[in-house]
Amino acid sequence: MILSDSEIKRYLKSWELKIQTSKEYDIFSQIWPASVDFRLWNTFRFYKRDSLTLIDPNIWVEQQHIETLVLDKDKPFILHPWQFVLWVTVEKIRIPYDLVARCEWRSSIWRLWVVIHSTAWYIDPWFEWTITLEITNINEVPVALWPWMRIWQFAFETLSWICEITYDKRPWSKYMNQILPETSRINKDLN
């Protein structure tokens, strides 16, 4: 069952669901009828195409092949056609044991032909901290993305039962407590 706005507020007020945002925003103002909007932070990463000729999922991509940029609040990032970036949210989250978060595109962003998270659409119980967004411009023209713009929304669903092993307890969980946008850690998968 997807939580309504009143249930989202109840979870937030009881601290079962924890969402922290910057001081200038009230998380309750970002709640919609069945979701919560998240904003882009000012830090993102992308692979340097001029120094990287191949990404092998079994080999860690060295930091010299990854660019990290921090933007001023009043400066946009120009996302060019077919450019891919990893960007984190302003908001930090902790999902309780009995919920899963479903990542949903905001229609206003999709109408710009900007794709966010075309794969990882949900977040497991007891995932904690910032969310790395995978963003691609599939438009034919560049699109300006601004720090602190509302770009993403989360809907929350209740589980049929509390899970046995939460995200934080799995030995192969690779993205817990991330602060910066994290590149793929598929090379750390247990085989």
Active site residues: 134
- Start-to-end CA distance of the chain, whole Å, equals 34
d(CA 87, CA 45): 6
d(CA 7, CA 31): 11
d(CA 91, CA 78): 22
d(CA 110, CA 112): 5
Given its phi and psi angles, is residue 30 left (phi above 0), alpha (psi -120 to 50 degrees) or beta?
alpha
Task: Map 129-169 to HEC letters.
Answer: EEEEEEEEECCCCCEEECCCCEEEEEEEEECCCCCCCCHHH
